[in-house]
């Protein structure tokens, strides 16, 4: 049986080698299909990991409080740029009380604005953020030189600023920024610290941000007394749910909102954000993979085509096999074996080319400075082979059945 | 001489090709009996129905009428499985155009029927061990060697078909027909593609095989070729017009084989 298959495989092989170009073109469909699925799945997983990794870098035990009500999972109105003033400094103070929210370890209010930032050789419109002194603990940032501003500085409306790594370099080049003055909308701020580079994330670009005390930003630059949002860090992930409840209860009573109504604020946590992003990217990934799978069908049809060519080239051979005692199922087995082998070879070639692309993309991404992990596993190889074999089988059935119908009389036909 | 087993017994065989408007009677009322050990020629001009008769006798085609007993069994009711077994075990074919697989060696060409031999004892025993299944047994190889020796082609066992002359190819094809030791060998114009010298060699081998006890049915349109057999069935317009012993049998033995 095995010898029988090996012999026929050799004949197939030689036939296909005799028509290398045609064979490779028809197998190309499977090659591209397998490669495309591998690329989409692997690069998709890497990109997903990159995004989620950035969010995790911020910390998954963060709770965000945004002004304005929202649907359960949708973004609150404030995310669309609508100004809602329901979240105030008093809310922030109340949340900061340990008795109200016992598991919060750090908490900060945020206001964001744009202003013309001037220095000696620098004039540019920049985004700045007014934050509490605790912000550095909320966001897990670290200081590279100098210090972050203190609670006292925040409270007494001090004009000090902490710069992100990139913007510090933009403004001061290689000079030491500590103690230097910058002007934000013509108000002078003294630089007291520079943050370590953290990289951009979906949430904000820490490296290009200018941080100033919340009070100074609200009163002197923006002229507002509400907050854009509040973020608080919870001591551990187990206390996330409890803390959300605490925050909700506190704000509900402060804003006089009955229990059966939606609040005029929204509470978001990183964990749910993570799972939403995970779901969305998964859908993208599988959708793209499904599109790529279409080319597998084209590839399968290619295999069917090549088996029909093999069939017409080998009518006499099959007739002869029948004449010396091959049964229908022997011919079917032979043809299925051949089509599955061809498909698997296509699958292996596709897998290897996909692998090449995946590693190349990974290399480029790392050169660009992303923390890029290449995701590959053994079951991907197995899946590629099984998929190819199934394709070869499925699209080989009809040619094999046709081949088994060839009469031994064909061997007698004289050319 | 004791009466040998009747291998082929057919009565009033008919074969009508229905081409819609016209019906072609390729065979009408052909009856004959062939015993084990006979060397019979079926002779007739082209279009006489000799090929149709051979197709029917070798179980490649079913007749549209008449009866046919192959080794005492009704040949008209064999199913596909049974036909495959008979083609493998009881019938050997030699074709006008040799039909060797061009991309595999002489050894593998002759081995081909053994790959489909699921019946005989020594190959069945191969199936017991995995290695035997994987490699084929030495028993198989011995059978290939013996068949090649019978046609004086053992020295070409590792050649590829394109390295052989026409006569050598046909001898390999005969070895392939022999390898499962069939009850009857059908040779369909085996010399039709060969020069007279190679043709004579092939006929000599067929005569040798006959002498060793093989049953041979030779289909030809040449009188001289047919006379190498013991008995000639002449066929014309689908009917067997004569069935007689060859009075002056030709022997190909005086020609020396060129190796």
Q: Do A24 and A158 belong together in one domain?
A: no
Q: State yes or no: pLDDT of B129 exceeds 60.
A: no
Report the alpha-carbon distance of residue A296 to residue A25 in Å, rounded: 14
Report the alpha-carbon distance of residue B124 to residue B116 in Å, rounded: 11
Q: Do A288 and A166 belong together in one domain?
A: no
Q: Do A188 and A288 belong together in one domain?
A: no
**Angle subtended at Cα B140 by Cα B134 and Cα B146, rounded to the nearest 5 degrees:** 155
Question: Does residue B227 contact residue B43 with C-beta atoms inside 8 Å?
Answer: no
Report residue A70's pLDDT band, with 50, 70 and 90 as the boundaries: low
pLDDT at A155: 86
Question: Closest-CA residue in chain A for B192?
Answer: A414
Q: Do A115 and A219 belong together in one domain?
A: yes
**Of B99, B170, B177, B185, which to mutate for an interface test with A (greatest number of A Cβ within 10 Å)?**
B99
Please give the average per-residue pLDDT across A197-223, as a whole number: 80
List CB contacts of A132: < 8 A, sequence separation 6 or more.
Answer: A92, A107, A108, A109, A151, A154, A213, A214
Please give the average per-residue pLDDT across A382-391, as a whole number: 91
Encode pLDDT of B70-121 as tens digits.
Answer: 999 999 899 999 999 999 999 999 988 888 988 888 998 998 898 888 887 6
Q: Is residue A386 part of a domain?
A: yes
Q: Do A101 and A188 belong together in one domain?
A: yes
Report the alpha-carbon distance of residue B198 to residue B203 in Å, rounded: 9
Please give the average per-residue pLDDT across A347-351, as a whole number: 93
Q: Is residue A245 part of a domain?
A: yes
More confident residue, B215 or A269: B215
Question: C-alpha B238: how far from its chain's center?
Answer: 21
Structural domain for A97, as ranges: 85-263
Q: Do A171 and A44 belong together in one domain?
A: no
C-alpha distance from B247 to closest chain A C-alpha (Å): 31
Number of domains making up chain A: 2
Q: State yes or no: pLDDT of A322 exceeds 50.
A: yes
Report residue A4's pLDDT band, with 50, 70 and 90 as the boundaries: low
Mean pLDDT estimate for chain B? 86
Last residue of a domain, one of A228, A263, A298: A263
CB contact under 8 A, A408 and B87: yes
Please give the average per-residue pLDDT across B146-160, as a whole number: 92
Q: Do A243 and A132 belong together in one domain?
A: yes
**Angle subtended at Cα A382 by Cα A377 and Cα A387, rounded to the nearest 5 degrees:** 125
Q: State yes or no: pLDDT of B136 exceeds 60.
A: no
Nearest partner of B6 among B29, B39, B37, judged by Cα: B37
Q: Do A117 and A245 belong together in one domain?
A: yes
Q: Buried (b) or exposed (e) across B233-247, using 16+ Cβ within 10 A?
A: bbbeebbbeeeeebe
Interface of A with B (CB under 8 A): 1-4, 7, 10-11, 14-15, 316-317, 320-328, 330, 407-409, 411-412, 414-415
What number is the ipTM of this complex? 0.89
Q: Is residue A268 part of a domain?
A: no
Write out chain B residues lying below 8 Å of A328, CB-based. 80, 84
Encode pLDDT of A176-205 as tens digits.
Answer: 888 888 999 889 999 999 988 876 555 567
Q: Do A140 and A258 belong together in one domain?
A: yes
User: From the list B51, B93, B134, which residue is nearest A323 (CB)?
Assistant: B93
pLDDT at A74: 59
Q: Is residue A63 part of a domain?
A: no
Please give the average per-residue pLDDT across B189-218, as a whole number: 91
Question: C-alpha A347: how far from its chain's center?
Answer: 26
Interface of B with A (CB under 8 A): 51, 55, 60-61, 80-81, 84-85, 87-89, 93, 95-97, 99, 101, 103-104, 108, 112-113, 115-117, 127, 133-136, 176, 180, 188-189, 192
* C-alpha torsion A123→A129→A131→A134, nearest 10: -90
Q: Do A202 and A334 belong together in one domain?
A: no
Q: State yes or no: pLDDT of B248 exceeds 60.
A: yes
pLDDT at B164: 93
Q: Do A109 and A253 belong together in one domain?
A: yes
pLDDT at A119: 86
pLDDT at B216: 95
pLDDT at A2: 67
Q: Is residue A43 part of a domain?
A: yes
The structural domains of chain B, ordered by start, are: 32-51+79-245 (3.40.50.300)
- Give the containing element (helix H, strand E) for B33: strand B22-35
Q: What are phi and psi of A157, to 5 degrees?
A: 65, 40
Q: Is residue A64 part of a domain?
A: no
C-alpha distance from B162 to closest chain A C-alpha (Å): 15
Question: Does residue B201 contact residue B252 with C-beta atoms inside 8 Å?
Answer: yes
Query: Which of A227-236, A400-409, B123-132 shows the lowest per-residue confidence on average (mean pLDDT)?
Result: B123-132
Please give the average per-residue pLDDT across A116-128, as a whole number: 88
Last residue of a domain, one of A233, A263, A293: A263
Encode pLDDT of A247-306 as tens digits.
Answer: 988 988 888 888 877 778 888 887 777 777 888 888 888 898 888 888 888 889 989 998
Please give the average per-residue pLDDT across A100-129, as a whole number: 89
pLDDT at B259: 46
Encode pLDDT of A29-60 as tens digits.
Answer: 899 999 998 888 888 888 888 888 877 776 67
Q: Is residue A71 part of a domain?
A: no
Q: What are phi and psi of A393, to 5 degrees?
A: -65, -55
* C-alpha torsion A339→A341→A345→A348, nearest 10: 110
Q: State yes or no: pLDDT of A235 exceeds 90.
A: no
Last residue of a domain, one of A263, A283, A307: A263
pTM passes above 0.80: no
Angle between helical axes of B138-150 and B106-115 (0-180°, round to 10): 120
Please give the average per-residue pLDDT across A202-209, as a whole number: 72
Write out chain A residues lying below 8 Å of B188, CB-based. 412
Three-state DSSP at A46 gives helix
Q: Is residue A60 part of a domain?
A: no
Question: Does residue B115 contact residue A5 with C-beta atoms inside 8 Å?
Answer: no
What percent of chain A is modeled with pLDDT above 70? Answer: 90
Write out chain B residues lying below 8 Å of A332, CB-based. none
Q: Do A203 and A336 belong together in one domain?
A: no
């Amino acid at each position: 049986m095995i010898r029988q298959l090996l012999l026929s495989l050799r004949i197939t092989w030689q036939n296909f080698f005799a028509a290398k170009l045609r064979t490779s073109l028809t197998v190309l469909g499977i090659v591209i299909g397998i490669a495309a699925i591998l690329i989409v799945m692997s690069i998709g997983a890497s990109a997903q990991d990159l995004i989620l990794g950035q969010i995790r870098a911020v910390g998954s035990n963060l709770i965000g409080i945004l002004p304005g009500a929202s649907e359960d999972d949708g973004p609150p109105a404030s995310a669309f740029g609508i100004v809602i003033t329901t979240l105030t400094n008093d809310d922030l103070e109340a949340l900061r009380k340990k008795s109200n929210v016992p598991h919060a370890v750090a908490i900060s209010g945020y206001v964001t604005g744009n202003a013309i930032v001037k220095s000696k050789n620098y004039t540019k419109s920049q985004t700045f953020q007014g934050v509490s002194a605790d912000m550095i603990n909320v966001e897990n940032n670290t200081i590279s030189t100098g210090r972050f501003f203190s609670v006292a500085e925040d409270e007494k409306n001090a004009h000090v600023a902490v710069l992100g790594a990139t913007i510090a370099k933009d403004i001061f080049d290689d000079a030491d920024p500590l103690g230097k003055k910058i002007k934000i909308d013509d108000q002078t701020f003294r630089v007291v610290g520079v943050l370590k580079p953290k990289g951009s994330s979906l949430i904000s670009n820490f490296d290009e941000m200018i941080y100033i005390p919340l009070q100074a930003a609200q009163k002197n630059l923006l002229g507002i007394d509400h907050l854009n949002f509040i973020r608080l860090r919870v001591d551990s992930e187990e206390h996330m749910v409890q803390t959300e409840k605490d925050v909700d209860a506190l704000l509900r009573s402060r804003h006089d909102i009955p229990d059966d109504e939606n609040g005029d604020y929204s509470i978001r946590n990183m964990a749910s954000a993570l799972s939403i992003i995970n779901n969305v990217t998964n859908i993208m990934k599988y959708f793209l993979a499904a599109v790529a799978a279409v080319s597998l069908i084209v590839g399968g049809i290619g295999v069917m085509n090549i088996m029909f060519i093999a069939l017409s080239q080998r009518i006499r051979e099959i007739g002869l096999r029948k004449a010396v005692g091959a049964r229908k199922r022997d011919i079917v087995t032979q043809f299925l074996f051949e089509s599955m082998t061809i498909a698997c070879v296509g699958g292996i070639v596709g897998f290897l080319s996909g692998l090449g692309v995946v590693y190349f993309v990974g290399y480029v991404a790392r050169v660009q400075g992303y923390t890029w992990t290449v995701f590959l596993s053994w079951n991907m190889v197995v899946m590629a082979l099984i998929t190819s074999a199934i394709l070869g089988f499925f699209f080989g059935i009809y040619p094999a059945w046709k081949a088994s119908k060839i009469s031994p009389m064909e061997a007698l036909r004289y050319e | 001489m004791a009466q040998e087993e009747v291998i082929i017994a057919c009565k009033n065989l008919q074969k009508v090709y229905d081409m819609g408007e016209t019906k072609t009677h390729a065979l009408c009322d052909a009856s004959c009996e062939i015993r084990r050990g006979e060397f019979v020629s079926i002779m007739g001009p082209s279009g006489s129905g000799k090929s149709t008769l051979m197709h029917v006798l070798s179980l490649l085609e079913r007749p549209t009428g008449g009866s046919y007993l192959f080794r005492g069994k009704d040949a008209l009711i064999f199913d596909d499985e049974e036909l495959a077994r008979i083609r493998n075990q009881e019938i050997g074919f030699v074709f006008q155009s040799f039909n060797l697989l061009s991309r595999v060696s002489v050894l593998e060409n002759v081995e081909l029927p053994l790959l489909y031999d699921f019946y005989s004892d020594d190959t069945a025993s191969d199936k017991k061990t995995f290695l035997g299944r994987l490699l084929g047994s030495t028993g198989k190889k011995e059978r290939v060697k013996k068949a090649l020796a019978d046609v004086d082609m053992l020295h070409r066992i590792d050649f590829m078909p394109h390295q052989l002359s026409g006569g050598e190819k046909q001898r390999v094809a005969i070895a392939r027909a022999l390898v499962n030791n069939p009850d009857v060998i059908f040779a369909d114009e085996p010399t039709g593609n060969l020069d007279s010298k190679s043709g004579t060699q092939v006929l000599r081998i067929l005569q040798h095989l006959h002498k060793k006890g093989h049953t041979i049915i030779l289909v030809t349109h040449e009188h001289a070729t047919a006379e190498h057999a013991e008995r000639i069935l002449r066929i014309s317009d689908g009917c067997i017009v004569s069935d007689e012993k060859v009075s002056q049998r030709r022997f190909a033995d005086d020609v020396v084989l060129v190796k």
